[in-house]
Structure 1
Amino acid sequence: MASAPQANNLPLLFKELVPLSTNEHKDWKARNVENAPWIVGQHAVPIAIDEFVHAQRFYPIVFSTGEEPVPLALMGLNEGVNMFVDDEGKLIDRPYVPAYIRRYPFMLARLRPDTDDLSLCFDPTAGVIGEFDEGAPLFENGEMGEPVKSVLGFCEQWEQSWQRTQAFMQEVKEAKLLIDGEVAIQPPGADKPFIYRGFQMVAEEKLREMRGDQARKLLGNGVLPLLYAHIFSLSLMSELFQKQMAAGKVPVQPVA
């Protein structure tokens, strides 16, 4: 269920990455887009802990597998299925949109391995900025225009939020709270349940067994409420499955 790394080693959604330049892109403009075709078929996206409270009302929140798990908002239970956008990438029912999606096609990236400086980069395949006849200028008189200032501020906020998310994940790992996830959903009339695996989740029994300093630490640093937001969100698995079933987007089970 959890998304595999992309072959080109670029972050999820990104096909190319180009530094934004006052020289090369001085005449470029940003245009408004109503659709986001880049998330069509994307069933899971990273989500920061600052978003858990809002996101858990719409999406199941799980954790990826591997040694360095990250939180993921599930937009579908199967690879290639996103139940929150139509085939053109238009949002359905106006759900909360994770910041990772709102940030695209921009991100801050380290261009040289010998420095920690981050540069504002973008994916030119998105078609959001370019040499358009209409739109908001990216630069004015060699200085950043409002679109660039806004995007830069948002990307900086994302980086800070993701640092807090990484610290949160370190606390969860040290507490050994994650287990391999498994969800079984039995549709009416089906011979057997649909089984979903390939993600991690918090073991509720481990939370209940916590005592003393460990429990006080997780409560004091704000980790415990976030863990319960994740746990509460898992109830949406069944609702998401029903949406997929109604849309005919549940894979046919093999005959035993």
Structure 2
Amino acid sequence: MASAPQAQALPMFYKDLVPLNSKEHAKWKVKGLDDASFMQEQHAIPLTIDEFSNAARNYPIVFSVGENSVPLILMGLNEGVNTFMGEDGRFNQPAYVPAYVRRYPFMLAKLQPDADELSLCFDPTTGAIGDYKDGEPLFDKDQPSEKTKSILEFCEQFEQAGQRTGQFVEELKKLDLLMEGEVAIQQTGVEKPFVYRGFQMVNEEKLRDMRGDELRKINQNGMLPLIYAHLFSLQIMREVFAKQVQAGKVPQVTEAPTV
């Protein structure tokens, strides 16, 4: 979940990244975006463990494949399909908005790959920030405004939650609880089910077979409620699939593209 250095590929949503500073942006202001079209074609959004209980009410929570696995919410089951967003770039139903989305267009990032310090940066391609007449000022003379301080605090809290999330995933790996995920969904009138793969999930069988001391440990350290929030949320995959069918966005294949 940690923000990537600017020299590397930019994170999801971000088209460019510029450090915020009082010399260049002294008169700049920030205002709310008119819509969330920047996430309209994203089907999987990173999530921190701090958000599991809220997000699990609306979205399936899965884990990405690969060495640096992260939790993701699925807003669609196929790449480029977001069943929660309308064509106007707005949510088409009440739903939890992940912190990863709410921090955009800001983020903390290293200005140099070998640097330790993170700096507050923003995506200059967004219409949320600029030399506008309206909006909240980012600086009071040469000092950060209260708005900028609150943005910085939110980004710092996000990074801290990201670190806790990374520790949670590492512990799942140590306990060998993550497995390759697979969900088969049978559509009415279709002979073969749609099979979704390309993600990870907690192995319920291994969870049930854990030793008592291990189970007690993950209950005491708060991991167990997070695991069950993830497992219960997987039922929502069928609801998301149904929304895709209703929108006519289900591919006519028996195995869908991976997450």
Q: Do both share a fold (TM > 0.5)?
A: yes
**Paired amino acid for 1:60:** P
Match of 1:233 in 2: 233
CA distance in 1, matches of 2:216, 2:242: 39
Q: Does the aligned pair in 2 maintain the 1:187–1:193 contact within 8 Å? A: yes
1:147 Cα deviation after fit? 2.1
Match of 1:109 in 2: 109
1:201 Cα deviation after fit? 0.5
TM-score (norm 1): 0.94
TM-score (norm 2): 0.92
1:125 Cα deviation after fit? 1.2
Deviates more, 1:122-131 or 1:233-242: 122-131
Cα RMSD after superposing both structures: 1.2
Match of 1:76 in 2: 76
User: Is it true that 1:157 corresponds to 2:157 in the alignment?
Assistant: yes
CA distance in 2, matches of 1:216, 1:92: 41
CA distance in 1, matches of 2:87, 2:41: 8
CA distance in 2, matches of 1:132, 1:91: 26
The 5 Å alignment of 1:117-136 reads 117-136=117-136
* SS state at 1:125 partner: coil
**Paired amino acid for 2:18:** V
CA distance in 1, matches of 2:17, 2:195: 37
Match of 1:36 in 2: 36
* SS state at 2:173 partner: helix
1:151 Cα deviation after fit? 0.8
CA distance in 2, matches of 1:222, 1:39: 31
CA distance in 1, matches of 2:32, 2:12: 22
1:192 Cα deviation after fit? 1.0
Deviates more, 1:158-167 or 1:86-95: 86-95
1:246 Cα deviation after fit? 0.4
Question: Identity, % of aligned pairs?
Answer: 58
CA distance in 2, matches of 1:58, 1:128: 27
Deviates more, 1:240-249 or 1:140-149: 140-149
CA distance in 2, matches of 1:243, 1:205: 30
**Paired amino acid for 1:86:** G
CA distance in 2, matches of 1:82, 1:185: 18
The 5 Å alignment of 1:1-256 reads 9-253=9-253
* SS state at 1:51 partner: helix
**Paired amino acid for 2:11:** P
Unpaired runs of 5+ residues, structure 2, are 1-7, 255-259
**Paired amino acid for 2:174:** E
